[in-house]
Amino acid sequence: MKLIVNAPINSLSFGNVSYNILRELWKKGTELTLFPIGDKVQMVAYDKVDKAFVNYLQKSANERFQTIHKNTHCLKLWHIMGSETRYSKNQSLFTFHETSKITALEASLLKLQDSIFVSSNYTKEIFNKNGIENVHHIPLGFDQDFCKTNKTYLKDKIHYGIMGKLEYRKNTVRTIKTWLKVFGNNSKYQLSCAISNPFLNQSKFESELFNITEGKHYNNINFIPHMATNSEVNDFLNSIDIDLGGLSGSEGWNLPSFNATCLGKWSVVMNATAHKDWATAENSILIEPSGFKTAEDGVFFTKNSPINQGDFFDITNEQMEEAIIKSANYAKHPNPEGEKLASIFTYENTVNKIISAIEAQP
């Protein structure tokens, strides 16, 4: 198969998805024309990468202007805003969307695509309700760079972790403050926070951290700097007993919580958006949302913007507190149903579905 791919390759979530899809395309022997978004490939995070795969990407990018053809299908992985550019006649967009509605501008851009791929059934329903056709639900998979380390980390403590960009949508500040209210300065418990956000300037980020602790000293919380490689991330996920990143109010998949669950950890998960596509009462600690809250955060989701409007799901502070207390009972216990997700959701399946949808186009 010949395919043009226009995608970011970096250490962020979008880059991780692109990397895993490209790796499966390489395994299938796809004749690839690669246009990296931003015109650069950042592979530092992928410290377990096969050199032959790197060579494949490099060759595909270096020869892109020689191998491009107007009749070759293009797969773009990107945000709705910015998806209007294309390299050939036919293009499929793999995108992620978090709010409860789409704007007129977003609808206009989506209608330019020949096919749209989304990892969340929730997003598919929202697009369909707004007259967007040719939308395919295609789940993501477990990253094969992650595995059990079989190390002993904090044997005599219950170790909580929260990973993902510090963001209002993800309830990061609320979650950590609630945990500190319940377990702060209790030596039986530890919380590790990997919440760096490259889109926030340093002063804003430090201000948010001060808001979390309110200037108080806690001896059982630590804030982890940006982890540069997947091996570091893998070690972090293996070290925790309970993941709190699933308390996010809206997700396109939630890679950290999903990967943690696949590794046999227990994640406290709001039963909404893309979480409903992989989290169940058997493999996660599910919390039902209490309602909605506006998506407006003044940073990434702003009032009167032509994009990113609508609501996120929400839960009460009491629900969050009860869920964190309840989750302690799951620590150190195996999660066999969670581990099964690694074989149910694979990037091989993701790519097979993408190819099938592309080949089915008229």
Indicate the residue type of 323.
A
- CB count in 10 Å sphere of residue 344: 12
Helices (H), ranges, 63-156 = 64-67, 104-110, 121-129
Mean pLDDT per block of 10 residues along the chain (362 residues) reads 97 96 98 95 94 97 98 98 97 97 98 98 98 97 96 94 96 97 98 93 88 92 95 98 98 98 98 98 98 94 95 97 98 97 98 97 82
State the CATH architecture for 2-141+346-359. 3-Layer(aba) Sandwich (3.40)
SS (HEC) of 251-301: CCCCHHHHHHHHCCCEEEEECCHHHHHCCCCCCCEEECCCEEEECCCCCCC
DSSP assignment letter at 245: G
Residue 40's pLDDT is what?
Answer: 85
Cα Dmax for the chain: 63
Topology alike, domains 2-141+346-359 and 158-344: yes
255-262 and 13-27 are packed helices; what angle lies between their axes, rounded to 10 degrees?
60
Total-model pTM: 0.96
CB 262 within 8 A of CB 341: yes
Handedness of CA 195, 196, 198, 199 (dihedral sign): positive
Contact 234, 205 (CB under 8 A): no
The encoded tokens of residue 353 equal: 């579905």
The residue extents of the domains of the chain are 2-141+346-359, 158-344
In terms of phi and psi (left: phi > 0; alpha: psi -120 to 50; beta: otherwise), the region of 169 is alpha
pLDDT of amino acid 39: 87
Beta bridge partners of 263: none
pLDDT of residue 65: 97
> For residue 362, what pLDDT is reported?
77
Alpha helices in the chain (DSSP H): 13-27, 51-62, 64-67, 104-110, 121-129, 172-183, 202-213, 230-239, 255-262, 317-327, 336-344, 347-359
The Cα–Cα gap between 153 and 236 comes to 10
Multiple choice CATH, 158-344, 3.30.70.360, 1.10.10.10, 3.40.50.300, 3.40.50.2000: 3.40.50.2000
Residue 1 has what pLDDT?
94
Q: Is the dihedral of CA 282, 283, 287, 289 positive or negative?
A: negative
Local structure of residue 350 (DSSP, 8 states): H
Give the tokens for residue 143.
């990253």
